Amino acid sequence: MEPSLKDSIYLQRERLAQILHEPLAQLAGKCVQVWGDRAGLDEVLRNGFCSIPHRTFLYCLGTDGIQISDNVAATGLVSEHFGRDRSSRPYMKEAVPSWGFLLSDAYISLYARRPSITALQVVRSESQGVVGYLGADFDLRNLPLTAELYEEPSYWRQLKGDPAIRGGVFQQSRVESPLDRSLDQSLSILDELLTQRGVFQCQVHFSSSQATVWTVNDPLRYRLLDHEALSDPDVCLVYPQTPYPADATIPQQCVGPILLALRSLRLTDETFYLRMSSINLFNGMVSVTFSCDGSHYMRYDEFLAKSHSFWFGTGN
């Protein structure tokens, strides 16, 4: 089963915690010896700064969230943070696990306004128990990438859109667009572009009569085709003939049936009709967005298996 986005984030955070836990625990043991002494804490944090990988700031907090040391940075002490009340910050609202180490969820830093993470290590005294926390702030830009790039899942997902549009869906009906008037020809042109001319992704906006396409020979830039281009076979002349990608997930012979299914979803019902769709040959995904502003994302084979009753009725 493909990992979800949350699973991928969890694995990344778990690996970061493994890197950070032990050096923070060792530094916390040194802090307890001078706990409550601002100058002593600053000195310990300065001496231990390089032992914490990828850190931006180190500091100490009381159990009430009030900072009892200066911020220690690569450039030295940042004294204006002494006495700062951090109790309302996101990382202070998370429960520290029983083993005394917390790696917070990512948040937007208050001053730099950048995605950040904070690690909190409990500081314990033999005589007093928990006396506070050693805090370490990390800028996400400085952290190592310990996981592979997240891969988009291929299972069916349905997303709701603008509730104002959904609420008025029965007060509207499809208005024939210029693309609708030449739909068969336009879909034939898109078929040619996808199967013979190097286009690997297209977004078709049926209501506004336009399509946006990306090609394998220039994948970082999109091309915009208006309804005149979409109805003119000559447009194929400016897209060089390109072999169908061997590593495409969508088989070449399935592109035509997908486009025919989109035609049906556009024209079958005057109230619930297709407004926009996208096809990605490598993801193997088809997305459809309807007049109610609801969107579906699913694998090409699942999309082709869906009958009219699924989209316009109650069954599969």
Give the separation between CA 41 and CA 31, rounded to whole angstroms: 6
Question: Torsion-angle region of residue 17: left (phi > 0), alpha (psi -120 to 50) or beta?
Answer: alpha
Phi, psi angles (nearest 5°) of residue 66? -85, 135
Residue 40 burial by Cβ neighbours in a 10 Å radius (0-12, 13-18, 19+):
middle
Q: Where are the domains of the chain?
A: 5-142, 157-312
Tens of pLDDT, residue by residue over 3-47, are: 555 666 677 778 888 888 999 999 999 999 999 999 999 999 999
Give the separation between CA 186 and CA 179, rounded to whole angstroms: 7
Q: Is the pLDDT of residue 144 over 60?
A: yes
**What pairs with residue 57 in β-bridges?**
137
Q: Amino acid letter at 104?
A: S
CA angle 139, 143, 145 (to 5 degrees): 140
Q: Amino acid letter at 295?
A: S
What is the mean pLDDT of the segment spanning 249-272? Answer: 92
Phi, psi angles (nearest 5°) of residue 236? -65, -25
Structural domain 5-142, CATH architecture? 2-Layer Sandwich (3.30)
Tabulate helix, strand, coil % of the chain (nearest 5): 35, 25, 35
Location of structure tokens 């579906």? 296
Tens of pLDDT, residue by residue over 68-88, are: 999 999 999 999 999 999 999
What is the mean pLDDT of the segment spanning 113-129? Answer: 90
- The confidence score (pLDDT) of residue 156 equals 56
Pair type for strands 199-205 and 210-215 = antiparallel
Greater confidence (119 vs 155) lies with 119
On whether the CB atoms of residues 199 and 213 are closer than 8 A, the answer is yes
